[in-house]
Amino acid sequence: MTGQLRLLASVAARHLVGRRRQTVVAVSGVAVGVGFFLAVSAMMIGSQNDFIKTLIDAAPHIIISDELRSPPPQPGISHYKGAAVDLRHYKVRNEVRGLKGWPEILRAVDAVPGAIGSPSLSGAITLRSGGREEALTVVGVDPAIEEKVSTIQDQLRIGRLRDLESTQGGIIIGEEMARRLGLGVGDVVGATSASGKSRSLRIVGLFKRGQTQISSGLGYVLLREAQSLLGRPFIINRIGVRLADPYEAEPISRRLEARYAYKAESWQERSADFLSLLVTRNVIMYSVVSAILLVASFGIYTVVSNSVSDKRRDIAIMRSMGFSERDLQLIFVFEGLALALIGIVAGWLLGYGLMAILGSLKFPIAGEDQRLPLDRSARQYAIAAAASLISGVIAAWLPARKAARVDPVDILRGAV
């Protein structure tokens, strides 16, 4: 059986060699399709991965805050479940805001393999220096833990997060804020909280300008400093969680929220609008790129179709020799298959080359030379090959059916 297939394939190969120019054109069509599919999808997926990585890294993978998605039911309503009770004018008990029982939540977070939770307390304060006042959201953190959870360390122009521990009353603010206050590292600034507490803080570090929104309106202090400044000892209102696998954020956040009722927001939830944008982008990319591959298969259709019409006489003689309809159909499908396969291999090389060129280009972004983020995964090569192979075989199969339907008698009669 394999010998038979080899025979049919060798006939197909001879046909292709006999029409070299058309073969080269069809193969180049597939190669260009596959090559550009690889280059374009490498850029699109590469930039998408880069973008998602930025999204993931910009903040902790999960943020547990002291908010509730729905207000807790009133005791009266939960007590008389299903009763026709309508309580109005009840007095709302004033509760201290913050994550209640946070050490337990933190333990639960740390119990997830590979996960680290960093507790923090944020609140509004006013910075005052030489008659200038600036509003600031101050975040109290444990530098040793926060370092592992967020990328703050990378965003510092001057100083380190750990400097908060070594300096009494240290604070890290944005470069912009420092400029507005006319201060620099080592200077002392007055801070007043909403509860009226006031103290002097020493600037130990500065965020890079324009890096993210955190740079202008945020300031970092030690957790206990924030707790005392904001008058909320032992209280935290946020736990940032970093996971070993960011894509686990969704189920883990749901589990945490189900257990503790506090809002646990995954990075996917926070960036839902961006992520849906990426889906649109992918749909656009794949439709454009599959169009390229589809058009490439038209070349295969043309070659095989021409081959069938040119070889009608040979088809008749082979039929008379005892080749079956299926044999003839296979010969022409093999032609398409061969064109597709050669095109795919050439396209892989082309794509590899294009990626090498794209990867070597440097683009000056924000003063730094950056390279294009490229995704060079084997998956893209496989997708391009599979798509070309399938469309190529279909493109060959359509005219190949015509070959099987050639009636040898019609040809022989016409020729004699």
Partner 1 sequence: MSAIIEVQDLSRSLPGTPPVTLVSDVSLSIQPATFVAIVGPSGCGKSSLLYLLGLLDRPTSGRVLFNGQDMNSLRGDARARIRLASFGFVFQFHFLLPEFTALENVMLPMRRLGKLPLAEIQAKAQALLEGMGLGEKSAKTPDRLSGGERQRVAIARAIANDPALVLGDEPTGNLDSQNSARVVEMFRNLAHDQGRAVVCVTHDPDVAAAADVQISMLDGRIKETSVRPR
* Contacts with partner 1, residue ranges (CB under 8 A): 3-4, 7, 11, 14-15, 17-18, 313-314, 316-327, 408-409, 412-413, 415-416
Q: How far is the CB of 308 from partner 1 (least distance, A)?
A: 15
Q: Which residue lies nearer to partner 1 by CB, 318 or 338? A: 318
Q: How far is the CB of 297 from partner 1 (least distance, A)?
A: 25
Q: Give the C-alpha separation, 342 to 351, whole Å.
A: 14
Q: Which residue lies nearer to partner 1 by CB, 71 or 322? A: 322
Q: Which residues pair with 170 in a beta bridge?
A: 202
Q: Give the C-alpha separation, 270 to 59, whole Å.
A: 10
Among the listed residues 310, 288, 315, the one whose alpha carbon sits nearest the alpha carbon of residue 404: 315
Among the listed residues 231, 273, 271, 265, the one whose alpha carbon sits nearest the alpha carbon of residue 68: 265
For residue 331 the two structure tokens come to 């010969």
Q: How far is the CB of 21 from partner 1 (least distance, A)?
A: 16
Q: How far is the CB of 410 from partner 1 (least distance, A)?
A: 10
Q: Quick check: 220 and 141 in contact, CB under 8 A?
A: yes
Q: Which residue lies nearer to partner 1 by CB, 200 or 324? A: 324
Q: How far is the CB of 300 from partner 1 (least distance, A)?
A: 19
Q: How far is the CB of 408 from partner 1 (least distance, A)?
A: 5
Q: Which residue lies nearer to partner 1 by CB, 14 or 148? A: 14
Q: Give the C-alpha separation, 307 to 214, whole Å.
A: 66
Long-range contacts of 311-317, Cβ-Cβ distance < 8 Å, separation of 24 or more: 311/15, 311/403, 312/406, 312/411, 313/411, 313/415, 315/403, 315/406, 315/408, 315/411, 316/406, 316/408, 316/410, 316/411, 316/412, 316/415, 317/408
Among the listed residues 305, 322, 323, 337, the one whose alpha carbon sits nearest the alpha carbon of residue 403: 305
Q: How far is the CB of 416 from partner 1 (least distance, A)?
A: 5
